[in-house]
Amino acid sequence: MKQYKAVAGPKNINVAKGDTQAAFDTFADIINLQANDGLEYHSMETITVTEKPGCMQQPVPMNYYMLIFVKEV
């Protein structure tokens, strides 16, 4: 049997000009942290979440990134 875990990925990553590697390293840090718990990176998915708005407001859909991890249990 497999166990899956979804971890929120960063929404916006600000880096210094020309330092795109810093953005890649952010994702690698998340993957390595989960690997320490015995989880293996599976995939990255995008989900759209729309919260119910207040009165007289339009719903605003927001995109989020999920990193999916898996391990045998």
Q: What is the pLDDT of residue 54?
A: 82
The domain limits of the chain are: 2-72
Q: What's the DSSP call for residue 43?
A: E
What are the tens digits of pLDDT across the range 28-54? 999 999 999 999 999 999 999 998 888
Q: What is the pLDDT of residue 30?
A: 96
Confidence of residue 55 (pLDDT cuts 50, 70, 90): confident
3: tokens are 């166990």
Q: What is the pLDDT of residue 27?
A: 93
Q: What's the DSSP call for residue 9?
A: P
Q: Do the beta carbons of residue 63 and residue 10 sit within 8 Å?
A: no
pTM of the model: 0.80
What are the tens digits of pLDDT across the range 6-19? 999 988 888 899 89
Q: Which residues have CB under 8 Å from 33's CB, separation 6+?
A: none
